[in-house]
Amino acid sequence: MSKSDSRRDFLANLSMAAGLIPGLALAAAWGFRFLVPPQEHRTEETLVGKLGALAVGTSRMLNNVYGNALIAVRVAENEVRVFSSVCPHLGCHVQWDPAAGNFLCPCHMGRFDESGQVIAGPPPTALPSFPTRIEGDNIFAVVPVKEA
């Protein structure tokens, strides 16, 4: 065996290992996803505001509630809905349009109805919504806690 043959064999083995190692790492990562279940996201109930301070048909922006940007809309006398204010299209913040009775994303004119469903524009999915409850004059919502 000559010196050039051993060098050629070494380079062939090195190039094979360079392709094999990332492939094995990727296969191990995929296997790990199926063996270890994903962790549950922690949620917390938080006070959104006072019912008396939110007139029917109006909204209130809430920033940094456990790491979430939220918007609360009072759609009826005893009904308040809470959504993420971040548009699923490009991350702009939606606003409540009281004249139209729906949400507007000013970046690309996406619109969402009062239940958060897409009614116009480019957004691919609905606005994430959060369970709410009213207790006396207090409005509560259950929101995910985003870890820092």
38-92 pLDDT, tens digit per residue, is: 667 888 898 989 999 999 999 999 887 788 899 999 999 899 999 999 999 989 9
Cα separation, 97 vs 5, whole angstroms? 75
Which is it for strands 43-50 and 138-144: parallel, antiparallel or unpaired?
antiparallel
Going from N- to C-terminal start, the domains of the chain cover 1-38, 43-144
> pLDDT value at position 125?
92
CA distances from 50 to 17, 47, 53, 127, 138 (A): 63, 8, 5, 23, 5
Per the structure block, which two tokens stand in for 120? Answer: 């116009």
Q: Which CATH number fits domain 43-144: 2.102.10.10, 1.20.120.530, 1.10.10.10, 2.60.40.10?
A: 2.102.10.10
79-127 pLDDT, tens digit per residue, is: 999 999 999 998 999 999 999 999 999 998 999 999 999 999 899 999 9
Cα separation, 19 vs 67, whole angstroms? 40
